[in-house]
Structure 1
Amino acid sequence: MRWKKKPLPDRNTTEQLARKLGVDELIATLLVQRGISGFEEARHFFRPSLSDLHDPFLMKDMDKAVARIEKAVSRGEKILVYGDYDVDGTTSVALMSSYLNSFYPGLSTYIPDRYDEGYGVSYKGIDHAAGNGISLIIALDCGIKATDKIAYAAAKGIEFIVCDHHRPGAELPPAVAVLDPKRPDCNYPYDELCGCGVGFKLIQALASRKGQPVESLLPYLDLVATAIGADIVPMTGENRVLAYLGLKQINSAPRPGIKALTGSLDKKQLSITDVVFVIAPRINAAGRIKHGLHAVELLTETDTGRAAAFAAGIEQFNQDRKQLDKDITEEALQQIARQGEQDRHTTVVCHESWHKGVIGIVASRLTETYYRPTLVFTRTGDRLAASARSVKGFDVYNALEQCADCIEQFGGHKYAAGLTLLPEQYENFKQKFETVVSRTITPELLIPEIAIDMQITLNDITPKCYRILKQFAPFGPGNPAPVFLTEGLEDTGYGKTVGENGKHLKVSVRQGDSPVFGGIGFNLGDKHSLIRNRNPFSAVYSVDENHWNGSVSLQLKLYDIK
């Protein structure tokens, strides 16, 4: 890893903030690094509230979307709530359908089949709507590029409201309303919402028209927080407010489906990390292995017993997903080794029988291994479909745009995308993608970087300090957990490798006369030799809690040691 220290802010600024807030300079420094230099900014950061949410009608077309739904309700039209099969899509459908169902029974839900229909709005879904007398489709987490399909629906007398957060193409779809804060002509104050976040803004607008207080929408925020964590959108601005309040909902009064997924966790308070690594993979597993509608059923179920049964089924899908993920990753690594492609700037692998539901996870695994922009292809019908993942600082979406002549269709974000192409274009695409990336990526971007907030001593880590650090959460892109550097550490003799094949490193360290801290370094087992015989070493880490046998202690979560 490249260790990169963030510049320390002006000392006078941090001293003044420390005095205003009554906190240590360490805390004040971290706040100033996050753009917080005054008392009011700090208050909003530490105590997000519903009053921090923006007026939903600031979003372009929101008035049109609300008017169209009100018209559909008043006329008794049939409404279809349509969403993608991933966490963001299924939580969006659960959110919108459960809110509308609270006052209007004339609606149904639809999730496209990952294998039969692929991502986003499908002709099959539109035909389903036409065959069932549906005249309005609310598309969530998809639709921004479905221009032809929405025109096809219009010819059948079906209108669309699009709620999306992906980048629009050159032409917006011919929908009644297109809610997307990334629209160039949208002046909404925050443009990093996930799909479920855009859906929440729509129900916030509907609720305000009905005279319902925004507090009445708190029960839906467990879904929004789950989508924010799973979709890896920035944990800043409105996202952080929604995630903070959603986590409070998850910890105080979660819906039966989410409670069923987290019942086995031995923790009093779940964090965004638990959402990302426990709740989200299981919701995702439904769409990956079977069908996304299973996730919607779980998330909208109000009966505790039935929710537990749905969760048990989804847990089995998740176990199947884990095995597929492990097997395909191993096959992909062998393919890279056989082809002698370790020295390329990109990883592009393909096997026609790989399970489409896990190629995104495999792409992430390969990115961790070789740390370069990665695509994993499999066959779907007469096309090849791929999931793309990138490295920090490199826009894979832009790179794919430059390969558009080899691609049938693509969409996504800076760090993750999906695409399809004809099998005969695979080799052309593979070469062109390598050419584009090698021309535009800088050498340092191919080495993982760890950004260090500041250098501290172990004596700086006190229970009081950690209580305040915890309040920096929820963490995510744009608001990562504070990362520290400490030099002159020594292991007290208890350091060892743990886990399968000694993959992880467990330590017990001190610095001079400091208290002893336990630490865990995932995937750092090969660094054990650096700490033997009380050899001094430096570590980059964050501080978290170790829950073990009912007791809780502070520990260092190691990212790298030298």
Structure 2
Amino acid sequence: MTNKRWRIQQPDEQLVTLFQQALQLPTLAAKILVARGFQTVEEAQAFLHMDEQVVHDPFLMHGMKEAVERIRQAIEQQQSILVYADYDSDGITSATVLKSALVELGANVTHVIPNRFIDGYGPSERLFRQAAEDGVQLIITVDNGIAGNGPIAVAKELGLDIIVTDHHEPAGTLPEADVIIHPRIPEGQYPFGELAGVGVAFKLAHALLGRFPEHLVEFVAIGTVADLVPLHDENRYLVKRGLEHLQRTQHVSLQALAKVSDVALEEITEETLGFSFGPRLNAIGRLGDATEAVDFLMTQDADTAMQMATLLDEKNKERKDIVADMTKQAIDMVENIDEIRDSRVLIVAEEGWNPGVVGIVASRLVERYYKPTIVLGIDLEKGIAKGSARSIEGFNMYLELDKNRDILPAFGGHPMAAGMTLAMEDVDELRERLHEQAMVCLTEEDLIPILEIDVPVDVSEIDVSAIEAVRTLAPYGVGFTKPMYGIPKTSIQSMRKIGANEDHVKMELGDGKHTLDAIGFHKGYLADELTKGIELSFAGDLQINEWNNHKKAQLLISDVHTDDWQLFDLRGGNKISKWLQKMPIEETTFIAFKRETVDYFTTLIPKEIALYDEEKELSTYTSYIVFLDLPKHEQQVKHILQTVQPMRVYAHFHVANSHLFEGMPTREQFIWYYSFLKKRREFHLRQHLNDLAKHKGWSRAMLIFMTQVFFELKFVTIENGLAKIIDNPDKRAIESATIYKERKEQVALEQKLLYAQYMDLRDWLDLCRQEQSVSEEE
């Protein structure tokens, strides 16, 4: 069940209808466009049918003319050119695009990528000096350089020419490069400022080749998606075009990358790039030297490509193992060290943690705890801690770190992520400061995760054709994220756990007339937390499940929410240990109505059992309650339900000796038995009761009960197992006996609570809850 705040958009229905009719779209696709801010049919039409007209002239970018002239001069004079790239997917694809174009033009070109652990990010003085020694005359940076003022100044002193191509935020002072190509420098000159590094490199390749480099657009798509830049304008067109080429690519490297990613070329989507291709390219730079990744992308030998793709895949698996191990260590710290757990900003640090993956670990901790998080690797030799931060809405990580410049000699980033280096002895101080800062700007509500739902839909709107139409809105990414669908006010028609370990759950949602399959991977626990007959809201992704050439719509469950209380039926469940595993014990109150029930369950339930006392306050009862046994009176159940208004009721209603199936003795049975005793005058119960029961076909328990009724009404005496008739007793109705009344009520309670159908029981309990609400309203 959810612990998130749902924010659901409500698209303008008139605009939805207009888009449906004008663009010939299903309701689902029209809702998405409206939810994403499209206001006119013309805007939506242009978005849906984007073409090459969206591609801007590369020479509109400041410095492009000068850069092209200098590069052409270098090519004509066969000067040595070095493409200097970043070590992530964007940098690797940027180098591939530009170097491919230069090779095509006959340039004398090599490339280099700094080692994350030796050189750090951006221009490296060491590598620039090495380039000068190797006879390089022109360095072109891709996806970095805009903040490399110092190393670039050294390169100029060494007599090197420098062309910077980058897209990152510039510092206050620009580097003294010969040419700077940047989509936002100067501000406003180039029509689109959100290109990825590979997009900028592609623009330079376009200008150099004098044509749109169609054969390189696949690499642009990979780098653009992996770098999480907004997918609109040129970026959207480049990714869309790139995906079309990727699905039939002739690049052996990309064919090999698809093979190790276990994806067919024709099935490649933007998700393939973001979750399969990008991480594999990133992995090599996270763990070591990424230079050979460019060789891989550019190779034309299929065997070499396959070998290198396999290496990338192995590096990615190694990266995953490192991340998993570091994440486990970090979670142990958070949950076992008070000062870390109790801080509103999580900061964990450990010697030997790989600085290449600390950002991924920080993201995992944010997902788990929903707190701003910093993960640091400690270098004991240098006495420093270096790492990455990830934040949540409401906590501007960059601005909050900026308030601590005195202990943060190096940091940078933006509101949701940052990187930093500080002295290891200042880690605890930073934690204390950020905690105090977070206490000011983060409320308790801010620490509840937000789930943005931008497309509320009804089950009746969902079918295969609607989902296929939505796919035409792709690619999805930053600025045009994949829709999160909300299905409000539906119910579960069927539900079961699936998978070898029952880790997953399969459901059918709807009202019977319209239904939808739903699956929750790693959400098998939902089968223990959800019940039929209640109103639920689901959030998730709509997919097409294809099996044996049969297509069916399916919801991939992300979250579930309900305002309804739930009844969990544990009646007849003797395996207490089994149903205890299905409930949050610490959040649950176990209630018994009889002292013997408490004694029976004390050793079986790892929590104190509350013995109900109508004279005591119920303020200690939680919103999850278990009725362990039957009450003496139904009013006791009503009192609890009306006072506590629990959100979960677990009905066990244990009965040591059930009377339901024996029922109540009839009047005729009482008359016969009394006449029998009156004739005998006395009757030895211990010796003859079994014989009498057998003779009459009655149960021994029934005879004992009738005897107890006669004893209470003073019709007989009982001493040492001998029942004797009392002459001329007072006339009293059988029904007036307390024991008779109690048994009759017990039988009725068993019928109502223990043996009733599930929905009948739920309806009765629900009526009990509502009586309080009606009373309050009155």
1:512 Cα deviation (Å)?
1.0
Give me the whole-angstrom Cα distance separating, in 1, the residues matched to 2:29 and 2:281: 36
Larger displacement relative to structure 2 (337-346 or 490-499): 490-499
Task: Specify the alignment match of 1:5 in structure 2.
Answer: 8
**Secondary structure in structure 2 of the residue aligned to 1:379:** strand
Contact 1:167/1:413 (<8 A) preserved: no
Give a deviation string over 1:34-75, Cα, whole Å, max 9, x none.
Answer: 233444423332233222112222223222322222232233
- CA RMSD, 1 decimal: 2.4
User: Any conservation in 1 of the 2:396–2:415 contact (CA below 8 Å)?
Assistant: yes
Q: Which shows bigger deviation, 240-249 or 513-522?
A: 513-522
2:500 & 2:54 partners in 1: Cα distance? 44
SS in 1 for 2:76: helix
Residue 355 of structure 1: aligned partner? 354
**Could you tell me how far apart the structure 1 residues matched to 2:72 and 2:279 are?**
35
Seen in structure 2, the aligned counterparts of structure 1 residues 250 and 415 have a Cα distance that, compared at 3 Å, is farther
Q: Distance in 2 between matches of 1:133 and 1:413?
A: 38
Deviation at 1:561, TM superposition (A): 0.3
AA at the equivalent of 2:318 = D
User: 3-state DSSP class of the match of 1:486?
Assistant: strand
Residue in 1 that maps onto 2:559:
560
Question: For residue 421 of structure 2, what is the amino acid of its counterpart?
Answer: T
1:240 alignment partner in structure 2: 236
Q: Deviations over 1:135-167 (max 9, x none)?
A: 211111111111111111111111222222221
Is contact 2:225–2:270 with CA below 8 Å preserved after alignment?
yes
Return 118-127 or 20-29, whichever deviates more: 20-29
Residue range with higher mean Cα deviation, 487-496 or 342-351: 487-496
Q: Distance in 1 between matches of 2:238 and 2:414?
A: 21
Decide whether the 8 Å contact of 2:542 with 2:555 is kept in 1: yes
For each residue in 1:68-89, what CA deviation from the matched residue of structure 2 results, as whole angstroms up to 9, or x when unmatched?
2223223322111011111111
CA distance in 2, matches of 1:306, 1:196: 24
**1:315 and 1:454, CA in 2 relative to 1: closer, same or farther beyond 3 A?**
closer
Q: Does 1:419 align with 2:420?
A: yes
Task: Establish whether residue 521 from structure 1 lines up as the match of residue 515 from structure 2.
Answer: no
**Quick check: 522-531 or 146-155, which moved more?**
522-531
SS of equivalent to 1:558: strand
Structure showing greater relative contact order (alpha-carbon pairs closer than 8 Å, 6 or more residues apart): 1
Q: Secondary structure at the match of 2:151?
A: helix
C-alpha distance in 2 between matches for 1:374 and 1:181: 31
Find the counterpart in structure 1 of residue 312 from structure 2.
314
The more displaced of 120-129 and 372-381 is 372-381
| SS of equivalent residue, structure 1 residue 268 | helix
1:82 maps to which of 69, 72, 84: 84
- Correspondence list, 1:155-170, <5 A: 155-170=157-172
TM-score (normalised: structure 2): 0.67
Number of the residue aligned with 2:291: 293
Change in 2 beyond 3 A, CA 1:21/1:445 = same
Q: Give a deviation string over 1:273-309, Cα, whole Å, max 9, x none.
A: 1111111111111112232123212211111111001
Structure-2 residue corresponding to 1:486: 487
Deviates more, 1:365-374 or 1:264-273: 264-273
181-190 or 467-476, which deviates more: 181-190
Is the contact made by 1:48 and 1:245 (CA closer than 8 Å) also made in structure 2?
Answer: no
1:63 corresponds, among 53, 65, 72, to: 65
| Native 8 Å contact 1:372 1:390 kept in 2 | yes
Question: Following superposition of structure 1 onto structure 2, how do residues 143-158 of structure 1 map, counting pairs within 5 Å?
Answer: 143-158=145-160
Residue of structure 2 aligned with 1:133, choices 132, 135, 160: 135
Q: Which residue of 2 aligns with 1:96?
A: 98
Return closer, same or farther for 1:410/1:311 CA change in 2, 3 Å cut-off: same
Shift in Å, 1:533: 4.2
Contact kept in structure 2, 1:288 and 1:357, CA below 8 Å: yes
State the match for 1:400 in structure 2: 401
- Following the alignment from structure 2 to structure 1, what is the Cα–Cα distance between the partners of residues 461 and 394? 32
Measure the CA separation in 1 of the matches of 2:474 and 2:486. Answer: 20
Partner of 1:326: 324
Give, in angstroms, the shift of residue 514 of structure 1: 4.1
Residue in 1 aligned with 2:612? none
Could you say which residue in structure 2 is the equivalent of 1:53?
55
Conserved in 2, the CA contact under 8 Å of 1:82 and 1:138? yes
Q: Is contact 1:286–1:317 with CA below 8 Å preserved after alignment?
A: yes
Q: Deviations over 1:187-236 (max 9, x none)?
A: 3222222211121122122223xxx3x2xx12212111111221222222
In terms of mean alpha carbon deviation, does 364-373 or 529-538 score higher?
529-538
Q: Find the counterpart in structure 1 of residue 107 from structure 2.
A: 105
Letter in 2 for 1:234: P
Query: What SS does the corresponding residue of 2:440 show, helix, strand or coil?
Result: helix
> Would the aligned equivalents of 1:458 and 1:514 in 2 still touch at CA under 8 Å?
no
Residue pair 1:497, 1:528 contacting (<8 A) in 2 also:
no
Quote the residue 1:257 is aligned against: 253
Residue 204 of structure 2 is matched in structure 1 by 202
The one-letter amino acid of 1:470's match is: R
2:455 is the counterpart of 1:468: no
Partner AA of 1:255 in structure 2: H
Counterpart-to-counterpart distance in 1, 2:112 and 2:265: 35
1:419 shift after superposition: 2.0
Deviation at 1:542, TM superposition (A): 2.2
Q: Distance in 2 between matches of 1:233 and 1:361?
A: 18
Contact 1:222 1:254 (C-alpha < 8 Å) held by counterparts: no
Using the alignment, how far apart are the partners of 1:102 and 1:408 within structure 2?
A: 44
Alpha-carbon deviation of 1:186?
A: 4.4
Report deviation, 1:534.
Answer: 5.5
- The structural deviation recorded for 1:465 is 1.5
C-alpha separation in 2, matches of 1:345 and 1:4: 23
Question: Could you tell me how far apart the structure 2 residues matched to 1:401 and 1:101 are?
Answer: 44
Q: TM-score, normalised by structure 1?
A: 0.92
Q: Name the residue aligned to 1:72.
A: 74
Distance change >3 Å, CA 440–CA 18, structure 1 → 2: same
Counterpart residue type for residue 231 of structure 1: D
Structure 1 residues 121, 433: CA separation in 2 closer, same or farther (over 3 Å shift)? farther
Q: Which residue of 1 aligns with 2:269?
A: 271
Instruction: Extract unaligned runs of 5+ from structure 2.
Output: 562-778
Distance, in Å, in 2 between the alignment partners of 1:551 and 1:25 is 23
Does residue 430 of the first structure (1) align with residue 428 of the second (2)? no
Question: 1:337 is aligned with what amino acid?
Answer: E
**Is this contact kept in 2: 1:181–1:191, CA < 8 A?**
yes
| Partner Cα separation in structure 2 for residue 398 and residue 40 of structure 1 | 40
Deviates more, 1:534-543 or 1:90-99: 534-543
Cα distance change of structure 1 residues 336 and 238 upon mapping to structure 2, 3 Å threshold: same
> Is this contact kept in 2: 1:166–1:412, CA < 8 A?
no
Deviations 1:318-344 (A, max 9, x none): 121111111110001111223223332
Q: Distance in 1 between matches of 2:49 and 2:279?
A: 29
CA-CA distance at 1:391 after TM superposition: 2.4
2:456 match: 455
Per the TM alignment, residue 108 of structure 1 is displaced from its structure 2 partner at its CA by 0.6
The aligned amino acid for 2:419 is G
Deviation at 1:26?
4.0
C-alpha distance 309-278 of structure 1, shift in aligned 2 (>3 A):
same
**Which moves more between the two structures, 451-460 or 102-111?**
451-460
Which digits, 9 at most, give the CA deviation of each residue in 1:330-378, with x for residues without a partner?
0011112232233322121111211222212111111111112221111
The farther-off stretch of 373-382 and 193-202 is: 373-382
Counterparts of 1:500 and 1:406, CA distance in 2: 49
Structure 1 contact 406–421 (Cα < 8 Å) conserved: yes
Q: CA separation in 1, counterparts of 2:557 and 2:207?
A: 44
CA contact (8 A) 2:493 2:507 kept: yes
352-361 or 508-517, which deviates more: 508-517
**Equivalence for 2:218:** 222
Counterpart CA distance in 2 for 1:35 and 1:27 is: 13
Shift of 1:237: 2.1
Q: Structure 1 pair 401/548, CA: closer, same or farther in 2 (3 Å)?
A: farther
Kept in 2, the 8 Å contact 1:17–1:37? The answer is no
- 2: CA distance, partners of 1:149 / 1:534: 68
| Cα deviation code 1:79-102 (max 9, x no counterpart) | 110111111111111111111111
Letter in 2 for 1:283: L
User: Which one is further off, 46-55 or 129-138?
Assistant: 46-55
Larger radius of gyration: 2
Corresponding position: 1:282 with 2:280: yes
Q: Give distance in 1, aligned partners of 2:303 and 2:470.
A: 38
